[in-house]
Amino acid sequence: MPEITEFFEDNESILKINQELKIPESSFSFKAFTDEDVIKAIKNLPTNKASTKNDIPINIIKDLNQSCIKKLTDILNQCLIEGNFPSKLKRADITPIFKKGDCNDKENYHPFITNIFKSF
C-alpha cells in the first residue's frame, strides 16, 4: 500500500512550496558498520581508563571475542536501520580543550571525548 505522501508529491501546491523553500536534496547518509569498524573503535579505546561506569574493565571490552563483535555490529546496524539509538549510546564525557585566543570565548575551545563507554 502506498504511503499517503506519495499521493501528494506531485501536487501543484506542494511543488510550489518546495520550489519557494528551495529544499535541497539530502546528501547526509550513514553507511553500515562492519565488524572491522567495531574492532577498530574498540582497539582505540584508551587503556589508561580503569573501567566503565558499570565497572567493566576496558581490557575486558578489548578482549571481546568475534561472536561478541558480530552481535555488537548487528546492534549498531539495527540502530541505523531503525533510526533509533539508545540514549546510552549518545552519552560521553566531553572535556573542553583550549585552542587559542580569549579563554573566556567558548569558540576558542574544542571538545575532547574522554570516555564514550562511561554510561554503560
* Alpha carbon distance 7, 14 (integer Å): 11
Q: What is the mean pLDDT of the chain?
A: 77
Q: How many CB atoms lie within 10 A of CB 49?
A: 14
The C-alpha atoms of residue 71 and residue 44 are separated, in whole angstroms, by 19
Comparing 7-16, 32-41, 57-66, the range with the smallest average pLDDT is 7-16
- What is the rounded CA–CA span in Å between residue 87 and residue 71? 19
Question: Whole-model pTM?
Answer: 0.50
The DSSP H or E segment spanning 50 is none
Percent helix, strand and coil across the chain, each to the nearest 5: 45, 10, 45
Domain boundaries, the chain: 4-115
35 pLDDT tier (thresholds 50, 70, 90):
very high
Region of poorest pLDDT, from 29-33, 50-54, 90-94, 115-119 = 115-119
Report the 10 Å Cβ neighbour count for 51.
15
pLDDT at residue 33, as a whole number: 92
**What's CA 24's distance to the chain center, in Å?**
23
